[in-house]
Amino acid sequence: MPGRQTMPVKDAARLAQKLADELQLELVDVELVKEPTGRFLRFFVDTEEGVSVDELENFHRRILPLVERVDYDYMEVSSPGADRPLKTERDFERAQGMRVELNTYRAVNGAKHFVGELKGLIEGNIVLTTDDGGEAAFPRREVAVVRPLIEFDESDLDVFFPEGEDTPSQNG
């Protein structure tokens, strides 16, 4: 609509934070992303125990009228998932001792991807204990993403491919 004032995403994020606090949810992230099918306004919410479909639906219904002036085509509300990126100090505190994968913007000693146990966010550095028992510190501003490492072994496939069914490795 010509002349219609749009709402910046940062204002939508402030409104979403207030609503999340009211509903006792953690607002993990808000993003507005242009994709081939349109502009997606996404809200990621969670709780310590995980988030239910009813909680997601309630948040969606309540946030919708508050963000109608944001220029988007589609709105989604979802859980960030088990491999959600670590962004806040609270995320890093919660993930201490977990195995994580870390990607840097630029190569460090010839690599941009690292795996290790998260020691913590210490004085602006993300510190990992590497598999060889050493320690590596990465300045936070030089890290593109840190997320929990989700590892599976062959026995995990039994959940998805019960005995007698072909697994992807059997299908070649």
Place 13 in a pLDDT band, splitting at 50, 70 and 90.
Answer: very high
What is residue 135's three-state secondary structure?
A: strand
- C-alpha span between 127 and 136 (Å, rounded): 6
pLDDT of residue 105: 96
Domain CATH for 18: 3.30.300.70
Residue 168, domain member (yes or no)? no
- C-alpha span between 169 and 64 (Å, rounded): 44
Query: Does residue 101 carry a pLDDT above 70?
Result: yes
Residues 72 and 39 in one domain: yes
Q: How far does Cα 141 stand from its chain's mean position?
A: 18
Query: Does residue 143 carry a pLDDT above 90?
Result: yes
Region 25-47: what's the mean pLDDT? 94
What is residue 137's three-state secondary structure?
A: strand
Residue 93, domain member (yes or no)? yes
Residue 138, domain member (yes or no)? yes
pLDDT of residue 155: 64
Residues 73 and 133 in one domain: no
Residue 171, domain member (yes or no)? no
pLDDT of residue 156: 58
Encode burial over 97-135: b for 16+ CB neighbours within 10 A, e otherwise.
eebbbbebeeeeeeeeebebbbbebeeebbbbeeeeeee
Query: Does residue 1 carry a pLDDT above 50?
Result: no
What single DSSP character describes residue 64?
A: G
pLDDT of residue 35: 95
pLDDT of residue 133: 83
CA angle 118, 121, 124 (to 5 degrees): 140
Residue with tokens 């630029």: 106
Query: Does residue 140 carry a pLDDT above 80?
Result: yes
Residue 130, domain member (yes or no)? yes
Residues 74 and 103 in one domain: no
Give the model confidence (pLDDT) of 61-91 as tens digits: 999 999 999 999 999 999 988 888 898 888 8
- Domain containing 113: what range? 89-148
pTM, two decimals, is 0.66
Number of domains in the chain: 2
